[in-house]
Chain A
Amino acid sequence: MKKIINQFGTLCFISFFASSSLAEISIIVHPDNAIASIDEKAAKKIFLGKSKKFPGGGKAQPIDQTGGAAKKAFHSTITKKNAAKLKAYWSRMVFTGKAQPPKEVADDAGVISKISGDPQAIGYVDSTSVDSSVKEILKIP
């Protein structure tokens, strides 16, 4: 048990430092998705529930993250909303019946596993997490 706790502590330590480093963010989709690139405006509309489709016309299913540095960096550039504004925004959208918030997963690995299994999904991860199971369509410096 003690060993597990120690390992958990180490994990925390690592993830704490990993999440505090500044990094590039990649917007990613399934490799089979026909879309080659997306602009910030189109990504914003999808992640704020204002559009349910990719610019090319295919159905888009956004995957958000529950928290962390990638979420912060993504939203400050793309939706231009900090945590408080994002919360207020979704509390209005949901109860006015206008839109549903994106599904949320805990971390980059969760986003990648969702996206590699769903041709309609779109998400964002730290650029260092991108692997061959997904396709990068925009890099945010």
Chain B
Amino acid sequence: MNFKKACAFTLAISLPTYANAYDYSVGDVEMSLHGFGSFGWTQTDNSDVGFVTSGILSPYSGVDSSGTFDSDTGFGLQGRVAYDRFSITAQVVSRGEQHYDPKFEWLYGAIELYDGLTVRGGRLRLPVYMLSESLEVGYSYNWVRPPIEVYNQVPITNYDGGDITYSNSIFDWDYSLQMFYGQRNIDEKNHLKLRDILGLNGTIGNEYVTLRAGYANTGMTVSIGDPRMSGLLSQLRSTGFDYAADELDANDENGDFYEVGFSLDYEDFLLSGEYTWLRVPGFRANSEAWYISTGYRIGNFTPSFTFSSFRNTDNKHLDNAIASVAGTPFHAGLQGLLPSQSRKQESITLGLRYDIDTSSLTTASIPMMAIKAEWQYINPKGTMGLFDTTRSGADNFTGSGVSVFSVALDFVF
């Protein structure tokens, strides 16, 4: 450290720090304001299909070879007011792929009944994955986005309801148990309502390793429904194929989601993985997905490698329906649904993260910034993979490999 730098250092620590600048107290009422964001550019080498980063809720048809800022750019602002054991938290997130329409991801009141036991109610993030509760906070992970093979399976990021969390420690292990209940309307594209979402998860960890397991069950109400699907169902019923219609119909049935995950952070070595299994009713196929990811910190650089896999496991209900209409005009139509319900995808991702040293500006813990560059090679194994296939060129897609290039600047303050 030279003299000039030492002076800058001394000067910097006398500047107002983040914690002082955006955390206020008025009497016993504490207020804080924090934010996060990512500027990301994403591009593929294919223009027949779209690379979709957040599943069926995305209102747009994904990234192609012309590239876009919209896929991995987003911002969030979070405010919290707390008094004694009570607090109110609100987080608004604006995502490029949802036309930057700001949406509440958190909007809840919490009471800490006693040290370690907290009850919350309101709009909450759906805690089905290891990273669910900090999903868009790009700074908090090494990828440009969490592996889509796994994280696209449950495309709903929040619900309205409540949860109870109990946290404590035993020996050197901290553990936490969470139970949640609520519902969610998805009206944007799918006319779907998830009701009686009930889930629980447990996490245990020490300073090096964290293990997590979770389960969620939800009932589904498919209201007006996908018009093509409801038309098909009523046609089947009116011509006596009630069995086929019942097999295909997801209305008033339940779906399940199982997840196990781990992460290891030992000195400069990082290793994490998650396995998920989704069981859905109706014509949609069940699926399983997993990833394993490793990284190594070298100063401010963190190179990482990830392998990720998705596959539709079985489409029992669709198969049953197809078999029951054999030899009828419905047969070909139902078979046409098969490609969308027998998807597979494997990918490897090579990433490099660089943590920008903001200590020359200020020694406060925040703001913090990181730049990432990533190459993902997706092999859909001859299927449609997880690509959007609504484009006119989709028929040309043979299910061969697609490369995705991404760069992003992430920050939190």
Q: Which A residues fall within an 8 A CB radius of B?
A: 8-9, 11-13, 15-16, 41, 45, 50-53, 64, 66-68, 80-81, 83-88, 90-92, 94-98, 100-107
Contact = CB atoms under 8 A, between A and B. Distances in A.
Interface in B119-177: 120, 133-134, 137, 139-140, 167, 169, 172, 174
**Chain B interface: which size bin?**
35 or more
A13 B6 contact: yes
Contact of B76 (A8, A50, A95, A104): A95
Q: Which of A53, A81, A94 gathers most chain B CB within 10 Å? A: A94
- A-B pairs with the 9 shortest C-beta distances? A67-B363, A96-B133, A16-B6, A12-B7, A104-B19, A106-B13, A12-B10, A91-B412, A95-B134
A103 B355 contact: no
A53 B168 CA distance: 13
B174 A50 contact: yes
Contact of B9 (A16, A52, A80, A103): A16
A88 B265 CA distance: 12
B75 to A, nearest CB: 12
B321 to A, nearest CB: 42
B164 to A, nearest CB: 14
A91 to B, nearest CB: 5
A100 B112 CA distance: 14
B335 interface: no
7 contacts: A67-B9, A84-B355, A91-B36, A91-B140, A95-B140, A97-B110, A106-B13
Interface stretch (B189-197, B229-237, B364-372): B364-372
Contacts of A81: 207
Contacts of A97: 80, 89, 91, 106, 108, 110, 120, 133
A9 B3 CA distance: 9
B174 A101 contact: no
A12 B365 contact: no
Contacts of A105: 20
B363 A66 contact: yes
A95 B364 contact: no
B115 A52 contact: yes
Which of A86, A97, A98, A103: most chain B Cβ within 10 A?
A97
